[in-house]
Amino acid sequence: MQSDLTQVRPYGDTLGDGAMQLSFTLPVPIGPEAIEAGKQLLEKMGFQAVSVVHVADMGEGFTFFVAYAKCPISIDFTAIQVPQAATAFLDFDATNEFIRQHIGRRLVVVGACIGSDAHTVGLDAIMNMKGYAGEPGLERYPMLEVHNLGSQVQSEELVAKARELEADVILVSQVVTQKDVHILNLTQLVEILEAEGLREKVLLICGGPRISHELALELGYDAGFGAGTLPPQVASFIAQEFSQRNK
């Protein structure tokens, strides 16, 4: 059984069946009309063989749906191109050694969760001494001088701090967002850095579960790291990219 990579569909239990699992809420009271509305909505989206398997009354005229359906659309996997931060992976020791040899001084890294975000989980996983999943965080790197400003830092404040500390690298994290406020926050930071004439002087990196490298580049960042990133991936990017740019 060979998958045709030019026509990839979701896989339920048979190759090419296009089966998908969906859940959502409609602001309508539960009943036969609600079930029909859920079904028609999915059909309008192009789904076929729609089966609403569960509905629940959530009160105040809201209904919860679980549905299965077949997706008739396919994707040409062979044509996919995803930009990724193009630097080699170096481990802890190699990164420190690289900075020592190629830059010859400690790099100053300033990090923060900007805007409304109070979730420092991602930032801490990358920056804190303890790190994440057994990988030490940036604070542990002798060749990095790390300042973790914590959560809910306003962009203006972050930029002022970066200037004061003569930052080489700015890391921003956006974890929990509402109504795409993370895009707004990230854009605003770039604008302030540009207005202050600092944008070209720093490596600007963002991270978070809804961040991709592609999105980061689009927003004017030098790199973006998504869910599951480990500290050494960020550290080795910082070392090599900074050296590359300051040759």
* Binding positions for other proteins, rule: CB under 8 A: 23-25, 56, 58-60, 62, 64, 115-121, 124, 128, 130, 150-152, 175-178, 181, 209, 227
Q: Which residues contact 191 (CB under 8 A, 6 or more apart)?
A: none
Nearer to other proteins, 122 or 222 (CB): 122
DSSP 106: P
Question: Minimum Å distance from CB 64 to other proteins?
Answer: 5
DSSP 21-42: EEEEEESS-SSHHHHHHHHHHH
Q: Does residue 144 sit in helix, strand or coil?
A: strand
Question: Minimum Å distance from CB 159 to other proteins?
Answer: 17
Question: Minimum Å distance from CB 120 to other proteins?
Answer: 7
- What is the pairing mode between strands 63-70 and 19-26? antiparallel
Question: Minimum Å distance from CB 119 to other proteins?
Answer: 7
189 and 156 Cβ atoms separated by less than 8 Å: no
Nearer to other proteins, 32 or 59 (CB): 59
130 has catalytic annotation: yes
What is the CB neighbour count within 10 angstroms for residue 105?
10
Phi, psi of 124 (to 5 degrees): -65, -40
Which among 130, 161, 201, 247 is annotated as catalytic? 130
Nearer to other proteins, 96 or 177 (CB): 177
Q: How far apart are CA 42 and CA 145, in angstroms?
A: 52
Nearer to other proteins, 56 or 86 (CB): 56
Tell me which residues are annotated as active site.
130
